[in-house]
Structure 1
Amino acid sequence: MQDATDTPDILQEPRLWSDGRWTARVIKNEDDDGWAVAMTLQGESEPALVGPWTMGRDKKNPKPLDVSAFNTLVKTASEVIRRHEQQLHAQLNKNVTITTVQGQRLRVALAIVPDEEGATATLSAHDDLGEELARVPVPPSFKLTPASAAAWVDAGFERPR
């Protein structure tokens, strides 16, 4: 027998749907007379997506949620989160490719690890085969550019100041 706490809370009300992971809530749009829908991921305090919602036939109340609309909203909200994660990853992980004076192509990467106590960052260099040649800690404020990467390589991979 399955414990009641193992099953997700499934709700299917006209203005509130949940599959235990996502919750769609139809809310009054504060900016006008219309309605909006907020999609919130389980455990999050803020919605991942808030968008306009269709009026019902009476032109006063919102159209009730249904399985098709809920599934579309889940897909859209999941995509918003995925794009946000990709953007954050791109902000924290940068790389440039340079060619040394000896003609060797190197990929220099900056990886920033955010932390409430204080972010850390690492600068690394890799050859064409992906083998790591060097790795040093740098301040999270380090600006990785082709010029700063070349200067680091030219300095013998010494920790930038």
Structure 2
Amino acid sequence: MTEMHEAPDTIQEPRLWSDGRWTAKVIKNEDDDGWAVAMTLQGESEPALVGPWTMGRDKKNPKPLDVSAFHTLVKTASEVLRRHEQQLHAQLNKSVTIVAADGQRLRVALNIVPDEEGATATLRAEDAFGQEVARVPVSPAFRLTAASATAWADSGFERPR
């Protein structure tokens, strides 16, 4: 039995292109007389990227979208999303390496899980072999530094206040 896959809804108009995943829409730039292009990922309410768009030959209307421009815009918008995800991951996942009072080298990690109801966070310590030594819940506002990680280890891994 052969599976049937529907082709994504494609739109190829001068001011609107879509491949079913990304949509490029040329819009009037509200700040001046020029034009802008907004790149929106399917299912998102806000564009991932809004940037200037080239004027056409008549210097009044926008240059029409084409396949090359669309692919470049998709690549750029995808990169913007990827960088945003990396930045968010870095904000939510931090780690430091310390040497505890007993001479043991530890990697201490703070992992924050965002939630509309209220974020949660976990502080975790691993030994040099990656084995978990301790894990405690902490406030998402906990500031992980080498000093706070060392103090936690030296306290016998008691939950920080």
Q: TM-score, normalised by structure 1?
A: 0.95
The answer to whether the aligner puts 1:62 opposite 2:62 as a matched pair is yes
Map residues 51-130 of structure 1 onto 2, 5 A cutoff.
51-130=51-130
**C-alpha distance in structure 1 between counterparts of 2:125 and 2:114, whole Å:** 21
**Residue identity opposite 1:123 in structure 2:** L
SS in structure 1 at match of 2:27: strand
**C-alpha distance in structure 1 between counterparts of 2:55 and 2:94, whole Å:** 45
Match in the other structure for 2:39: 39
Deviation at 1:2, TM superposition (A): 4.3
Match in the other structure for 1:17: 17
SS in structure 2 at match of 1:31: coil
Deviation at 1:102, TM superposition (A): 2.7
**C-alpha distance in structure 1 between counterparts of 2:132 and 2:101, whole Å:** 19
Instruction: Give per-residue Cα distances to partners, 1:56-82, cap 9 Å, x unaligned.
Output: 111111000000000000000000000
Deviation at 1:158, TM superposition (A): 0.9
**C-alpha distance in structure 2 between counterparts of 1:116 and 1:101, whole Å:** 39
**C-alpha distance in structure 2 between counterparts of 1:157 and 1:102, whole Å:** 13
**C-alpha distance in structure 1 between counterparts of 2:144 and 2:83, whole Å:** 23
**C-alpha distance in structure 2 between counterparts of 1:80 and 1:9, whole Å:** 24
**Residue identity opposite 1:157 in structure 2:** F
**Residue identity opposite 1:67 in structure 2:** V
Identity of aligned residues (%): 82
**C-alpha distance in structure 2 between counterparts of 1:40 and 1:69, whole Å:** 15
Deviation at 1:146, TM superposition (A): 0.6
Query: May I ask how many residue pairs the two structures share in their alignment?
Result: 159
Unaligned runs of 5+ in 2: none
**C-alpha distance in structure 2 between counterparts of 1:41 and 1:126, whole Å:** 39
Instruction: Give per-residue Cα distances to partners, 1:38-70, cap 9 Å, x unaligned.
Output: 000000000000000000111111000000000
Structure 1 runs of 4+ off > 3 angstroms? none
